[in-house]
Amino acid sequence: MKAFILLVTKGDNSEIMKSLNSFPCVLEAHRLYGDYDIIVKVKVQDIHELSKLKNKLLNESSALYAEVLIIEEG
């Protein structure tokens, strides 16, 4: 399954951008202007893996908020 994760970060987001590249499930990550600071495209096996990734981003980085948008396939 593929999804987008929209992140709101505190301060400089260069460190989180670097750390996103270490996740094998991350396909793309881009900085944004607007309400969200970063958009991340991921490919995971299931909703459980997606939830774990979201929690890891919130607990181990400068991310303050994460919104997940699952991509409809097919």
For the segment 22-46, what is each residue's pLDDT rounded down to a tens digit? 999 999 999 999 999 999 999 999 9
pLDDT band (50, 70, 90) for residue 73: confident
Per-residue b/e over 23-60, b at no fewer than 16 CB within 10 Å? Answer: eebbeebeeeeeebbbbbbbebeeeeebeebbeebeee
Domain ranges of the chain: 2-70
Say yes or no to pLDDT of 11 above 90: no
Residues 59-71, mean pLDDT to the nearest whole number: 94
For the domain made up of 2-70, give the CATH fold: Alpha-Beta Plaits (3.30.70)
Tell me what percent of the residues of the chain surpass a pLDDT of 70. 100
The reported pTM is 0.93
Measured over the CA atoms of residue 66, residue 61, residue 8 and residue 17, the dihedral's sign is negative
